[in-house]
Every structure is written in C-alpha cells, then in structure tokens.
Amino acid sequence: MSKLRGSRLLNEVEKCRLEGNWRRVLDLVTASSLGKGSGLESLSNFFSGEANLELYVQENRDIFAGPSERHEQPLYKAKKHLISVFDSNDVKEEIALEANLLLSKLYFFCGKYDEALTGFTKAKLGHLDVEFKDLRALRLVAEAYAIKGFCLEVMRPQKFSSKHQKMPRMEKITNSYMKSTDLTLLYLQECEKAISPRQLCLTSPVPGPSSSAAAAGAPLFYKKWSLGSSC
C-alpha cells in the first residue's frame, strides 16, 4: 500500500482522531513524512503525543481508579511529544490549545493537579466559548472542564496559589462540572446529527469517563479521590 501524503494523510489522521483509532494514528504518523525537516514537526509531535496518551488510557482502564504517579513513566513518551509541540515558533493556535489540554489531562492522571490547572490556564480554558472546529475539540474541552473540577475538588485549599483563588473554591468546582455537563450533552447531540442511529450504537466514540462522569454527576463518580479533602 502506498503511503498517504499531504492533505490525504492529514484527512486520514483527523478521521482516525474522531473515531478514537489511536493505534492507526500512530501508524500513520510513524510511516509518514511528518517528522524532522518536514516543516510539520509540531503536528507530528502533537499527533504522536495525543495518540500515545489516549492509547494508554484505552488499554489501561484502571487509570480511572484514581490518579497515580505510577502512570508517569508509561506516559513519558506522550509527555515528551506534547511538550515538543511548543518547540516550533509557528505552531498553530488550535494545536497549542489542544496540546495544553492534553498535557493537563496527562498531569491529572499522574496526580499532578497543580500542573494540570496550570495547563488549563495556559490554554485559557475559561475563554473558550467559541465554535469548536470539530467533535474532537469539543470533547477535549468537555473533558478538560471535568478534570478541572476534579483537580479543584481533590486539592486541599491551603495548596491553592493566588491565581486559582479569584472565585470561591466551591463555586469554581460547581461551574467546572456544569460546563463539562453542558458540553458533554452538546457533544452527544452533535454525534447523533453526524451519523445514523445504528452507526452511533456501533462505531461512534463516546465521551471519555472524565466527561461522562460529569454528565452523570461527576462529584459522586470521583468522590473517593477527594475523601478527606476539605471543602
């Protein structure tokens, strides 16, 4: 089979991202000319980092038993690629945004809540009330708000830095969960519009446990993580 190139390659990668076919994304990026010297290094790093992170999550569902430092080493490659996205001076704004959201998700799974919240600040999460370019972007932001809520709930108040204290803590937690719930419902509605009911049942990616939890009442889903934390 001949290698995909140019717009055909990028279209196939985007298709696989929407489907959650992360192993295929890795195969495409590895076999393509998106690497060093192509002028598309930031895209290559982004796709590789995202796919490595999401594939690890798919294959290690116990990750949702609770964030842990033990995930750091397996996710090192994903982290390295995502950080390398910012080595380029001409990285596209939307790629930088999604890379920051993914880094925050990675830090969260590793139990690094401060770093996760810093990533959301860099992504200007609170100012993303815009039209999303595709379902993948919408899903990432829905997950981001859920994860932000989890981080704020689990962290003890005395660990907060001033930049995270512009609103009362519980109000920020509640707003994050509510925003994630709204975006998750929007995501599901858009999925239903995009494909037939039968395809939706058989092939459509559903929101990750992070955003699904928010829609169903995330505080209860992850409450065991925050037992002992003070509100």
Q: Where are the alpha helices (DSSP H) in the chain?
A: 6-19, 22-31, 41-59, 76-84, 93-109, 113-122, 135-154, 169-194, 197-202, 209-221, 223-226
pLDDT at 41: 85
Domain boundaries, the chain: 6-157+168-196
What pTM was computed for the model? 0.80
Within 8 A by CB and 6+ apart from 207, the residues are 139, 142, 143, 184, 187, 188, 215
Show the low-confidence residues of the chain (pLDDT under 50). 1-2, 198, 200-204, 213-231
Q: Specify the pLDDT at position 224.
A: 38
Class of domain 6-157+168-196: mainly alpha
